[in-house]
Amino acid sequence: QVQLVESGGGLVQAGGSLRLSCGASGIIFRGSVMGWYRQAPGKQRELVARIPPSGNTNYADSVKGRFTISRDNAKNTVYLQMNSLKPEDTAVYYCNARHVMGDYWGQGTQVTVSS
């Protein structure tokens, strides 16, 4: 059974930082494209950042230069370091794992940035 468990969300003031973590089990983590998505109230879920097994990252334009995605294959964990947070970053953040066997999602973690 595949499980993705996010942690690290919370309330932070604008300009602050948070680090999200996502621990994966039940999948071949090393062979999976790992990603972070977010969904704000009334909006569609959008890609924030993605890191394939090769390690070549890509980011949404809105977070470039502020967010960093990384992965630790030994720990089956993907991270999202978020700096210089803005109120418009407020959303539920979801971890995603994409593998030949399927497409999997975590339960989400709330990030709230106050102005």
How confident is the model at residue 4, as a pLDDT?
Answer: 96
CA dihedral (1, 92, 39, 34) in degrees, to 10, reads: -40
How does DSSP classify residue 41?
Answer: T
Average pLDDT over the chain, rounded to an integer: 96
How confident is the model at residue 101, as a pLDDT?
Answer: 84
Q: Is the pLDDT of residue 55 over 90?
A: no
How confident is the model at residue 26, as a pLDDT?
Answer: 86
- How many CB atoms within 10 Å of residue 39? 14
Q: pLDDT by residue (tens digit) across 67-80?
A: 999 999 999 999 99
Q: pLDDT by residue (tens digit) across 27-54?
A: 889 999 999 999 999 999 999 999 999 8
